[in-house]
Structure formats: C-alpha cells, structure tokens
Amino acid sequence: MTEPTWRHDVRTADGHTTIELTGEIDMSGSTRLQDLLDQAVNAASAVTVDVAAVGFIDSTVISAFVRANNTAATRGCRFVVVNPSAQVRRVLHITGVLSTLAEDTA
C-alpha cells in the first residue's frame, strides 16, 4: 500500500466543521477526500475547508469540492474553501469554480 500524499485535521465546534488539508491531493486520494467532505456536510451546519498547505489538486479534487458544495446547498449547510495557495487558486480560477467555492476571490 502506498503512503498517502495528503493529510487532514478536522475540528468541530457549535455545528461548524473546519477541515485543514495538507499535501498534494490527486485521484489516488479523491475517494478518501469525498468521504471526508460528505461526512462533514451531512453532519454540520457549516463546513470550512482550509487548503493553505495544499500544493497540488487535480480535477478529481475539484469534483469532490463541487459535489460537497452542492450537497451542502441542498442541506442548507454553508460550504467554503479558504486560503488557497497560489497554485490551488489558479486551478480553481481556470476551472471556473473559484468564485463558487472560495470565500475571498480577490
């Protein structure tokens, strides 16, 4: 079994879950990420995903974020991605989802 290329830390308080992601996330970790996001949006009233320490994402990660955002919207849960690194911000911008997922798109 290969070593994961990313880690996460989850904190929950007063119905708000913060997920801090670290590392490089690609299709090899996308199922684990989707499960993590699904669990969070189905249990919290607000979910913040901090990607400050993420250096790389691919289309499967974007898909996981969009799916989580859609599920959250259906449930009345707030979902936001914060602190994207320059590389992650660029990928989110190029794919057209930055303004949908990120709190501060400036």
Domain 6-101 has CATH 3.30.750.24: yes
**pTM (two decimals):** 0.93
Among 62, 7, 12, which Cα is nearest to 42's?
Answer: 12
Q: Where are the domains of the chain?
A: 6-101
* Per-residue pLDDT tens listing for the chain (106 residues): 567 899 999 999 999 999 999 999 999 999 999 999 999 999 999 999 999 999 999 999 999 999 999 999 999 999 999 999 999 999 999 999 999 999 765 5
